Amino acid sequence: MSLSNLNLQVRGPDLLLPVLVRPGAKRDEIIGVREGVLKVAVTAPPVDGKANTACRRLLATTLKVPLTHVEIIAGAQARHKRIRIRNADLVSFTARLAPLLK
């Protein structure tokens, strides 16, 4: 389980990453990387966009970026999502996420 396995794409100043969200979990957490996808668990149910908001909030808090910089660009109605982190620094992204994946 390593960050090097994450299918992360750099698009100009933004980072794009695939995320698999598990709603209704016992706690909000980043579980790890599996088959190139970042696995995230959130306590919020998959109703009225609550799980999406919880996922965005968890990533924003973990990466120390504003919530407005975390955007779901595909898969808003699915567990598999494509997320854009706007104006992200790859070095900071790696430094903040890597310790959680060990």
pLDDT band at 59 (very low <50, low <70, confident <90, very high): very high
Stretch 16-20: mean pLDDT: 96
Q: Is residue 2's pLDDT more than 70?
A: no
Number of domains in the chain: 1
- The confidence band for 41, taking pLDDT boundaries of 50, 70 and 90, is very high
101: pLDDT strictly greater than 80: no
Residue 16, pLDDT above cutoff 60: yes
3-state DSSP of the chain? CCHHHCCCEEECCEEEEEEEEECCCCCCEEEEEECCEEEEECCCCCCCCHHHHHHHHHHHHHHCCCHHHEEEEECCCCCEEEEEECCCCHHHHHHHHHHHHC
Domain with residue 19: its CATH number is 3.30.1200.10
pLDDT mean across residues, the chain? 93
Decide if pLDDT at 56 tops 70. yes
Q: Give the residue numbers spanning the domain of 82.
A: 3-101
Q: What is the pTM of this model?
A: 0.93
